[in-house]
Amino acid sequence: MDFNSSSNSSRNTPRTYKSRKQPPKKKQKTQVYLSLSSKPHHKTCSACGMSYDTLSPDDRATHHKFHARALSGVDISLPLPSSTCVAKVVLKNNVHATIHKLGSRDLPRSTRTALDAALRICNAELSAPDEGIADFFSRSQPAVYVCITPSTSSLSSSSSSSSATITGLALVERISSGLFMSCSSGRILSSSSSSSSSPPPTPVLGISRIYTAHSSRGLGIARALLDAICASAIYGLVLPRDKVAFSQPSDSGCRLAAAWAGEVMTDRELAVDRGVDVDSLVCTGKEKKIRVYIEKS
């Protein structure tokens, strides 16, 4: 069909419209729910942390989907390109996994959508700003690392054709400065409290987020992600762990960072952190500090 000639022939002809009687506008109907119970119908799920209205079918459906993904991970419909794989690991319980480093380019839409869903679950769990994957990719030399494990079909949220699930996620960016934080108090240690003659190494990589799906916790996914990040973030270089800093770690993030790269606090740092004299310290040699950094908003 030649649409062109058709449009040419009508170009000089004023378009006319038949006057039609406008149908009466329908009034917008709103579904309301009558609560006959005195019990509050807003609920926060203890498993996934989502707050929702138990009387709203939409809210319940949203929670159902979010809950399944938070517990089991986010299914991916397309296999990730083998060129993005930076590590193959065997986790606890003999779970085989691959770790992939993903940049902003050349991500199929379905993969980008799955990453976005995983990030939003991570944000909700960490009470972090609800930043999407597109926002993160606008940062300084960003990279997203994902841990992919075989799909656990009985727990999968939706697609039965999916064979793999994002069960771990880490967002990484380049940084140029960091600070030490006491793991026990959560306070930043001032540089003057350090008794070391040399300044701490300046971190170059910041872990903006790191997250593991509930049902896959305890397998070692977060540590595997961190090791893969050190080995592959900068081409041709294996970064020492003291070059990595964490952004506002949660309690579990602090424990992970301390176990992975924590350093024992000096007596002087401990005394300043506790607000006591060095001579009055009782227990020393166990408390740890970790490297943290402040994200640019």
For residues 169-188, which are near Zn ion according to CB under 5 A?
none
Q: Report, in Å, the least distance between residue 116 CB and Zn ion.
A: 19
Listed in sequence order, the residues at least 6 apart from 166 whose beta carbon sits closer than 8 Å to its beta carbon are: 73, 74, 75, 76, 114, 115, 118, 146, 147, 148, 213
Mask 36-65, x = binds Zn ion (CB under 5 A)? ---------x-xx-----------------
Q: Report, in Å, the least distance between residue 185 CB and Zn ion.
A: 32
Nearer to Zn ion by C-beta: 67 or 288? 67
Q: Report, in Å, the least distance between residue 45 CB and Zn ion.
A: 3
Among the listed ranges 9-17, 67-75, 131-139, 232-240, the one in contact with Zn ion (CB under 5 A) is: 67-75
- Measured from each CB, the residue nearest to Zn ion is 45
Nearer to Zn ion by C-beta: 211 or 293? 211
Nearer to Zn ion by C-beta: 66 or 136? 66
Q: Report, in Å, the least distance between residue 118 CB and Zn ion.
A: 16
Nearer to Zn ion by C-beta: 91 or 126? 126
Nearer to Zn ion by C-beta: 154 or 192? 154
State the Cα–Cα distance between residues 182 and 126, nearest whole angstrom.
20
CA 139 to chain centre: 15
For residues 87-146, which are near Zn ion according to CB under 5 A?
none
Q: Report, in Å, the least distance between residue 47 CB and Zn ion.
A: 5
Q: Report, in Å, the least distance between residue 251 CB and Zn ion.
A: 20
Q: Report, in Å, the least distance between residue 49 CB and Zn ion.
A: 7
**What six digits make up the tokens of 99?**
């770790």
Nearer to Zn ion by C-beta: 48 or 183? 48
Q: Is 67 in the site for Zn ion (CB under 5 A)?
A: yes
State the Cα–Cα distance between residues 190 and 47, nearest whole angstrom.
38
CB 126 within 8 A of CB 132: no
- Count of residues of this chain found to bind Zn ion when the rule CB under 5 A is applied: 4
Nearer to Zn ion by C-beta: 67 or 243? 67
Q: Report, in Å, the least distance between residue 157 CB and Zn ion.
A: 12
Question: What is the distance between the terminal CA atoms of the chain, rounded to a whole angstrom?
Answer: 53
Nearer to Zn ion by C-beta: 214 or 268? 214
- What is the binding site for Zn ion (CB under 5 A)? 45, 47-48, 67
